[in-house]
Amino acid sequence: MASRVGGIIRVTVDGSEIRAKGDYTYNLGQNKREAVIGAGYVHGFKEMPQVSFIEGEVTDTSDLDVVALTGVTSATIILELPNNKSVVLREAYYAADGEGTTGEGAMKVKFESPWPAEVLGVTA
């Protein structure tokens, strides 16, 4: 049985939907493992922390408050995925540079958080 794994998404900031567009990237902040290599063979691995994030673009319409969006410092960000999962960042802050483009009125957004969660089977 085929199921939807890509396509329509929804992004909210403290419950208010923003006009998400294109592909979004996310990371749940799990530790990253890297090989520790010695003379001739792998000795093991090390783990380093990663920051959890949700990143993509929004359409910069006349009613988008760019100053408020780039000023977010402690919000709940929810990315609802097409596969019936949600990525939730709590106490998230805006972490992009506020860059926008004129071709399609797009603005890059990135939110980071120390408190990520993946919600399975239901959208938030």
Model confidence at 122, in pLDDT bands (50, 70, 90)?
Answer: low
Determine the pLDDT at residue 85: 93
Q: Give the Cα separation of 12 and 17 in Å (integer).
A: 4
Q: What is the per-residue pLDDT across 19-69, written as a single tens digit (0 to 9) for each?
A: 999 999 999 999 999 999 999 999 999 999 999 999 999 999 999 999 999
Fold of 10-119: Elongation Factor Tu (Ef-tu); domain 3 (2.40.30)
Secondary structure class of 50 (helix, strand, coil): coil
Q: Give the Cα separation of 52 and 69 in Å (integer).
A: 18
Determine the pLDDT at residue 124: 47
Q: What's this model's pTM, rounded to 2 decimal places?
A: 0.89
